[in-house]
Amino acid sequence: MKETWRWFGPLDALGLDEVAQTGAAGIVNALHEVPYGEVWQSADIAARRHLIESAGFDWDVVESLPIHEAIKRGDAPLEPLFANYRQSMANLAENGIRTICYNFMPLLDWTRTDLASPLPRGGTCLRFSAPKMAAFELYMVGRRGAEADYSDAVLAAARAWFAQASSDDQAELLKSIMSGLPGAYDRYSLETLRRALDAYQGLSRDDLRANYKRFLQEIIPTAQELGLSFCVHPDDPPRDILGLPRIVSSADDIGWVLDAVDAPENGLTFCTGSLGANPLNDLPEMVQKFGARIHFAHLRNVVKDPDGSFEEGTHLGGDSDMVAILRALLAAESARGISLPFRPDHGHDLLDDSGRKTHPGYPLIGRLRGLAELRGVIAALA
C-alpha cells in the first residue's frame, strides 16, 4: 500500500517540507480555490503538480473534484456543468493524474458538531454529537419535522443543551458544522443555509439516486476514455443530515452505486471512519466484497455512542478492527497486482497541533501518529 498525505495546497498551514518528514510518498490534493462547476484549467493543474513533484512527492489522488449542487438536485439545464466537469477530467488526465475521489453528499461534506472535544489524556478530537445536531436543526435552523429523525432521549438532551447555550456556543456549533466544507469554499450562515435547504425541498432518496445515476452515466464513459479511476467517498456521518438523504452509507448503497454503471472505473474510496460510524457495517467483509473496485483508502477509526453520537478514536483503538481491515485491503491489492494509495485520516490534535491552525481534522502530529501506527500494522501483515 502506498502512503499518501492530504495537503491543501497554498491553503494549508503545513508546508511540503514538513509533510516530507512524515515519510509519506504521495500527495492527495485538489484545486480548492476553483468555484464548484468551473473548469480546472490545465495550466493550474500543471503548476500544482510541479509544486508537488518539486518537493519529492507524487500527486496520487485528486480529492476532490467537487460536484455542483445543481447536479445533485437534478436542476436543468445541466449540460454545461457536465461539460465543464468532463473538461476538468481531461485536463487532469493530460497532466498524469489518474485517480479522482469525490462525494455525492447534498450541501454539506463531512459533518461534526465539535472540532476540539477533549480527550482523557490530553489533546482533542472531532466529535459528532447527536443532541447538538438535533438542537441545531430544531432551534437554530428551525427545520420542520426534524423531531422525527431523533429519539426521545436525544430530543431531551438537545433541549437541555440549547436552554443553556450562549450565543457564542451557538456560533461555535455553526462554525463546526460548516468546517467540513473543504478549502476556501464559502461557508453558510444560518440564513443562507435555510435558503440552500429550501432548494432541496421535496428531494427524496429515490430522486437523489436518479440524479446520481445520471451523473455516473455522464461521467464514467469519459473516465474510461481517459484512463481515469473514480472513487466515491461514503457519507460522513452515514445518516441523513438536515433532512437531506444520504445514499452512500451502507453495503447495499455501495452495491447500488457500483451497479449503476458497472465498470472498473466506477469505484469506491474505502473510508473506514465514515463506514465505521454505521454500526450495521462489517468493514472487513465490505473490503472482501468490493475490493476489486476500491481505488483509494482513508484509514481512521471512530468510537460510537448508543445515541448515534461518535468521535474520532486513535487509528488502532476505535470500534473497527483496523488489523482485519488492513489484512483484507492487502489481500485485495495483491489480487489485483496494484499498490493501493491510502492516507491517515482525521487525527487527534496532539501536543503543539492546536497552535498550528491546520484544517480541522488534519493536524500534523495526530496524523503522523496514525500513519506510524498504520505503517507498523502493514509491515507486520506483509
Distance (Å, whole) CA 329 – CA 323? 10
Look at residues 278, 229, 223, 236 and name the one whose alpha carbon lies nearest to residue 106: 236
Residues classed as catalytic: 233, 271, 298, 345-346, 362
Q: What nine digits make up the cell of 179?
A: 468546517
Pair 316, 276: CB distance under 8 Å: no
For residues 228 and 92, is the Cβ–Cβ distance under 8 A?
yes
- The strand order across the sheet containing 114-118 reads 114-118, 124-128, 310-312, 302-304
DSSP letters, 134-200, are HHIIIIII--TTGGGGS-HHHHHHHHHHHHH--HHHHHHHHHHHHTTS-TTPPPPPHHHHHHHHHHT
Measured CA to CA, the distance from residue 216 to residue 219 in angstroms comes to 5
Q: Are 13 and 364 in contact (CB under 8 A)?
A: no
Cis bond upstream, residue 64 (ω within 30): yes
The CA distances from residue 208 to 213, 231, 233, 234, 319, in Å, are: 9, 18, 16, 15, 30
List alpha helices for the chain, DSSP H: 16-20, 42-54, 69-73, 79-94, 130-135, 152-164, 167-178, 190-199, 205-226, 251-260, 272-276, 283-290, 322-336, 364-381
Q: How far apart, in whole angstroms, are the C-alpha atoms of residue 62 and residue 25? A: 15
